[in-house]
Amino acid sequence: MGKSWLRNYVIKRLIYSVIIAWGILTITFILIRVNPSSPADEYLANLAATGQDPVQVKAAIEARYGLDKPIYEQYIDYMGNLLQGNLGWSFSTSMPVTELIKKHWIYSFQLILLSSLFAAFLGILIGIYSAVKQYTKTDYAFTFFSFIGISIPNFWLGVMLILVFSVQLGIFKTYYDTTLSLFSIDNLKALVLPVMTLGTGMLAGYVRYTRSNMLDNLRKTFVTTARAKGLPERTVIGKHVFRNAMLPLITIIMFDLGSIVFGGAYITEIVFNIPGLGQISFNAIFANDYPVVMAVTLIVTFMVLLVNLISDITYTYLDPRIRYD
Of the ranges 197-206, 300-309, 314-323, the best mean pLDDT one:
197-206
Domains in the chain with CATH codes: 105-318 (1.10.3720.10)
19, 105, 154, 265 from 112: Cα distances, Å: 26, 11, 14, 7
Q: 3-class DSSP state for residue 304?
A: helix
Q: What DSSP letter does each residue of 157-195 carry, written as one string?
A: HHHHHIIIIIIIS-SS-SS--TTS-TTSHHHHHHTHHHH
Q: 3-class DSSP state for residue 95?
A: strand
Q: What is the mean pLDDT of residues 195-219?
A: 90
- On the question of pLDDT at 295 being above 50, the answer is yes
Q: Could you report the per-residue pLDDT of 93-110, keeping only the tens digit for each?
A: 888 999 999 998 889 889
Question: DSSP label at 34?
Answer: S
Share of the chain above pLDDT 90, in %: 24
Q: What's the confidence (pLDDT) of residue 196?
A: 93
- On the question of pLDDT at 26 being above 60, the answer is yes
Q: Could you report the per-residue pLDDT of 44-92, keeping only the tens digit for each?
A: 655 555 566 667 777 777 777 777 788 888 899 889 989 898 888 888 8
- On the question of pLDDT at 282 being above 70, the answer is yes
Q: What's the confidence (pLDDT) of residue 325?
A: 59
Spatial distance between the Cα atoms of 216 and 211, rounded to a whole number of angstroms: 9
- Give the rounded distance of the alpha carbon of 11 from its chain centre: 24
Q: What is the mean pLDDT of residues 191-219?
A: 91
Q: What is the mean pLDDT of residues 270-298?
A: 87
Q: What's the confidence (pLDDT) of residue 1?
A: 47
Q: Could you report the per-residue pLDDT of 159-172, keeping only the tens digit for each?
A: 999 999 999 999 99
Q: What's the confidence (pLDDT) of residue 46?
A: 56
Do residues 217 and 245 lie in contact, with contact meaning Cβ atoms separated by under 8 Å? yes
Do residues 252 and 206 lie in contact, with contact meaning Cβ atoms separated by under 8 Å? yes
- Give the rounded distance of the alpha carbon of 144 from its chain centre: 26
Write down the pTM of the prediction.
Answer: 0.82
